[in-house]
Structure 1
């Protein structure tokens, strides 16, 4: 409890006691004279003014009580900045949910319409949505997903679209950095500096408990090393988050406090899951994906080209280029289509010469 709040409560208590004391003392006089017992009585109970000497004593008590609570609080070790951030969750965090099975069907259909080649991943999410509704959980909980497949097929884009449909935060975290593991857990004691991990930081900032957190290209994650040459890999750092029981009481190494991280929806992407450790794979629902077919690439080009307002002639040129590339043995992907659409948009914006 903060010192100011303790001071106010002690002042109020003193005024209450003083008021009772005044009333008890003057009660016989009221019976004899029939006049107002507090009339003309200059006391804090009447004027609400507390003598300076009393205020000083009460302030001293408030300081001592606040100091006692601080010493015995599990938050006593936090800095003022960290304490202020943690106190934002004193009333908990919000959890986005799926209201009805029909809503689950609607969201899954919308996701499938934009990413038809990701049907297996969308089906896994759809089942999770309906399971969440049937079980009566307070919010939507997505079991960890591992999307394994070639680069440039829209794995991260699919996850971001899922977050938008759910109305939650969607963060894509690049796993290729050397310090990636610290970006998830935060820095432990024994390492230089002090940072809170990105998942917890996101929850503290948004007060939303079930964001979609994407770990992109986890198969390329580096391993951080301390000054004592201790290694700390991203796959090992993720394990406590991917198991519901351990995530529900995860201890932040930076703040040294427990947090319920079990509502986070984890989506891991990889190009080659064979290099990942078994404990990580076993905690995820694995979805294996393939390169898009020519028909799927052209359908994406049609939809995205119209969304951008491109002319039909430009869209046809992009589709022709895709077919030509495949005929030459080149395997295009969504990034290839996006670059060609960008180029077509630039060409359409150029001034025409007559």
Structure 2
């Protein structure tokens, strides 16, 4: 099997014959062709078959009511006592509402979670997770907040309650694999779904994770999950993927994925990058306090946008919005 990784560019000197990447703000004139048993090779876009060119260049469908022609910011709101960087801060509905309003000024999506999926985290009962999330979502809607709200959960019952309260996107870190009822629930809800790659469970996923080739293995796993979701009745037009940085990956695995994120555009769906404040940022920057990893988080987010990532999941919304605005202005020469 051949894997085609478009080499994403943003330079204003765009050569004749270059194609837009996923209909977005980057373009490509060359691609890296990768095979498991052969050295990678660089080819001109003209050497690709028409189907591959069309798949890589085509604009992605709107996701959750948002166009994918620019990078969208997904703000993280954890209503948990034990999330790795903000656990306990927004457990009270009043605190969550205040934080959500603050985030909404710069975020395109709010992602609300009631169960920590940090390495080593233990499962939370459905009733408890629902009690943490559904009332907050309902309060946000009652307060007039009208931006898309994503529910970050592995459990069908939690997702159902969240959608009843006003959520509109499902973000499942197990790509619909944890709960046997999740795929059918997502299909019945008509929900846009983010399928994230992970292995094992949060409690064990960092216990010596290994891959034959992390980039290609994660790609293949996500391709398989897209196929399973489609078979369950979820149209590809409602699917996005997330390579799952930090979920069952070592530092080196994370860096390999980050350096070649553009491969995932070959799946033909929007791609989300979630790396904000994660442990590998602290390891590289020698910063043990997750709340002090903003500079590293911004660097990784902008590196992802440079490879055409359509959604960036972050804790620090206002800071990311400012950085993204300046990055886009400095690469395009136009104030956005």
TM-score for both structures, normalised by structure 1? 0.28
Which structure has the highest strand share of the two?
2
Q: Which gives a bigger RCO, structure 1 or 2 (Cα 8 Å, sep 6+)?
A: 2
Which structure has the highest helix share of the two?
1
Q: Highest CA radius of gyration, 1 or 2?
A: 1
